[in-house]
Chains A and B, each alone.
Chain A
Amino acid sequence: MTAEAKALPSKSYLEDGYTLSSWFFSTDHKRIAILYFVSITLFFFVGGAAATLIRLELLSPTGLFLSNDAYNRLFTIHGVVMVWFFLIPSIPNTFGNFLIPIMIGAKDLAFPKLNLASWWIFVLAGCFVIAALLIGGVDTGWTFYAPFSTMFSNGYVVPAVIGVFIAGFSTILTGLNFIVTIHKLRAPGMTWFRLPLFVWAIYATSLVMVLATPVLATTLMLIFAERVLGLGFFDPKLGGDPVLYQHLFWFYSHPAVYIMVLPAMAVMSELMSAFCKRRVFGYKVVAYSSLAIAGLGFLVWGHHMFVAGESVYAGLVFSLLSFSIAVPSAIKVFNWTATMRKGYVSLDAPMLFALGFIGLFVIGGLSGLFVAATGLDVHLTRTYFVIAHFHFIMVGGTVSCYFGALHFWWPKMTGRMYPEMLGRGTALMIFFGFILTFMPQFILGWLGMPRRYHLYPPEFQVLNVLSSAGASILAVAYTLPLIYLGWSLFYGKRAGANPWGAAGLEWLIPSPPPRENFETVPVVTWEAYPYPLKPQPVERKETP
Chain B
Amino acid sequence: MGAILPTPPIGLTPLSAYAAEYDWLFFGMCLLSLCFMVPIAVAIVYFAVKYHKDSKADRSERISRRSRLILESSWAGIPFLLTLGVFVWAGKMYVEWATPPKGALEIAVIGKQWMWKFQHPGGQREINTLHVPVGRPVKLVMTSQDVIHSLFLPALRIKMDVIPGRYTHLWFTATKTGTFRLECAEYCGTDHSRMGGSLIVMTSADYQSWLAHAGTAISLAAAGAEVYRKNGCSGCHGANSTVHAPTLGGLFGTMVRTADGREVLADEGYIRDCITLPDKNRVAGFPPIMPDFSGTISEADLIKLIAYIRSLPPGARP
Contacts and interface: CB of A to CB of B under 8 A. Distances in A.
Which of B12, B48, B147, B295: most chain A Cβ within 10 A?
B147
Interface in B121-165: 146-148, 150, 152, 154-155, 157-161, 163-165
Interface residues of A, number: 80
B37 A362 contact: yes
Contacts of A72: 187, 189-190, 192
Interface in A239-278: 239, 241-243, 276-277
Nearest to A245: B148
B168 A309 contact: yes
Contacts of B168: 309
Interface residues of B, number: 75
Contacts of B40: 333-334, 337, 358, 362
B29 interface: yes
Interface stretch (A38-46, A94-102, A125-133, A315-323): A315-323
B159 A382 contact: yes
Interface stretch (A197-205, A208-216, A293-301, A340-348): A340-348
A90 to B, nearest CB: 25
A379 B146 contact: no
A69 B183 CA distance: 19
Given A375-B89, A375-B93, A450 B152 contact: yes
Nearest to B99: A312
Contacts of A455: 193-194
A390 interface: no
Interface string B162-192: 0111101000000000000101111111111
Contacts of B295: 237
B94 A370 contact: no
A172 B33 CA distance: 37
A335 B11 CA distance: 36
Contacts of B190: 68-69, 72, 139
A178 B96 CA distance: 47
Given A327-B76, A337-B47, A376-B25, A315 B164 contact: no
A129 to B, nearest CB: 19
B113 interface: yes
Interface in B82-140: 83-84, 86-87, 89-98, 113
A374 B93 contact: yes
A340 B93 CA distance: 41
A307 B161 contact: yes
Contacts of A379: 22, 154, 157-159
Contacts of B152: 382-383, 448, 450
Contacts of A381: 159, 185
Interface in A450-470: 450-457
Which of A151, A242, A447, A451: most chain B Cβ within 10 A?
A242
A334 B44 CA distance: 10
Which of B22, B95, B165: most chain A Cβ within 10 A?
B165
Contacts of B89: 373, 375
B293 to A, nearest CB: 13
Given A237-B164, A367-B33, 7 more contacts: A72-B192, A148-B189, A237-B165, A282-B68, A319-B91, A345-B48, A378-B93
Interface of B: 11-12, 22, 25-26, 29, 33, 36-37, 40-41, 43-44, 47-48, 51-53, 57, 59, 61, 68, 72, 75-76, 79-80, 83-84, 86-87, 89-98, 113, 146-148, 150, 152, 154-155, 157-161, 163-166, 168, 181, 183-194, 277, 294-295
14 contacts: A72-B190, A152-B113, A307-B159, A337-B44, A340-B51, A342-B51, A342-B61, A347-B48, A347-B52, A362-B37, A378-B158, A382-B186, A450-B185, A451-B185
The 9 A-B residue pairs whose C-beta atoms are closest, nearest first, are A236-B165, A448-B154, A375-B93, A373-B90, A374-B94, A375-B90, A340-B47, A453-B193, A379-B157
Interface of A: 68-69, 72, 139, 141, 145, 147-148, 151-153, 235-237, 239, 241-243, 276-277, 282, 285, 306-309, 312, 315-316, 319-320, 323-324, 326-327, 330-331, 333-335, 337, 340-347, 355, 358-359, 362-363, 366-367, 369-370, 372-379, 381-383, 446-448, 450-457
